[in-house]
Amino acid sequence: MSGQQAQQLTAQGLFPHGIAGVIFDCDGVMIDSRTANNIYYNRVLAWFGLPPMTPEQEHYSFMATSEQALLHIVPPHLHHEIDYVIRNEVVYRRDITPLLRLQPGFMNFIGNLRSRGVRMAVHTNRKLDGIQTVLDIFSLPSYFNPVVAADTAAPKPSPEGTRHICAAWQCPPQQVLFVGDSEHDKEAARGAGVIFAAFNGGPLRGEITAADYPGLHTALAAVLPPVSGL
């Protein structure tokens, strides 16, 4: 049996009644932002005259909220200057947002889900204005409802935001998939009782694991509803 066939059988076992909704993390899942985010945090450190992030700091910062990340990488005696720096000197919206790119295959994947009537939502550790900016840049707002951010629910790994999405959809969590690329995503999904798909390679594993969107679509093909109108 091929790996693709095994994933399809796994999906059929996980979703005996099909998939009703898919929740997406943002960074590393919807958008390829790791390099851009590292540039942002390293520019902040450089403004303070500090060296670039260590690998440990890069890993932490990619999963955390921006506030958590900045407090983690900037020494405590400089914390009082962070707000000034990010408002006036290293401005994410101005300096970093133009560097963001959608993950390859993402638009085709969500377009296919929409054609099948599958609900979609976002659960991110970005703040609400940050994720709304990302959605607006790529003309994505119409695809996702609700959008849950770190300042509208407890940040991941808390499952609060994922539970909120399931409640808003009035959908059993067993029919929902969470696509994420971090342990925080996995914990949020598991805590809410939804199925977790580990995305974008690396050592992370979920009930479903896919390196890219074509692979994820193949894994889910057997449990997706038919295209609307067919």
pLDDT digits (tens, 9 = 90+) for 15-71: 999 999 999 999 999 999 889 999 999 999 999 999 999 999 999 998 888 999 999
Global confidence as pTM: 0.89
Cα separation, 100 vs 193, in Å, equals: 31
Q: Which of 230, 229, 193, 210 is nearest to 14 (CA)?
A: 193
**Are both 46 and 123 inside the same structural domain?**
no
> CA-based diameter of the chain, in Å?
62
Cα separation, 27 vs 134, in Å, equals: 10
What are 46's two structure tokens? Answer: 């450089």
**Are both 156 and 209 inside the same structural domain?**
yes
Q: What is the CA radius of gyration of the chain?
A: 18
Identify the domain containing residue 112 by its residue range.
11-30+103-220
State the first-to-last Cα distance of the chain, in angstroms, to the nearest integer: 31
Q: Which of 135, 82, 84 is nearest to 110 (CA)?
A: 135
**Are both 23 and 38 inside the same structural domain?**
no
**Are both 25 and 116 inside the same structural domain?**
yes
**Are both 25 and 38 inside the same structural domain?**
no
pLDDT digits (tens, 9 = 90+) for 185-213: 999 999 999 999 999 877 999 999 999 99
**Are both 161 and 211 inside the same structural domain?**
yes
Mean of per-residue pLDDT scores for the chain? 94
Strands (E), the chain: 21-24, 31-32, 101-102, 119-123, 147-148, 176-180, 195-199, 208-210
**Are both 173 and 60 inside the same structural domain?**
no
Q: Choose the final residue of a domain: 43, 75, 99.
A: 99
Cβ-contact 176, 20 below 8 angstroms: yes
Pairing of strands 101-102, 31-32: antiparallel
- pLDDT (0 to 100) of residue 10: 82
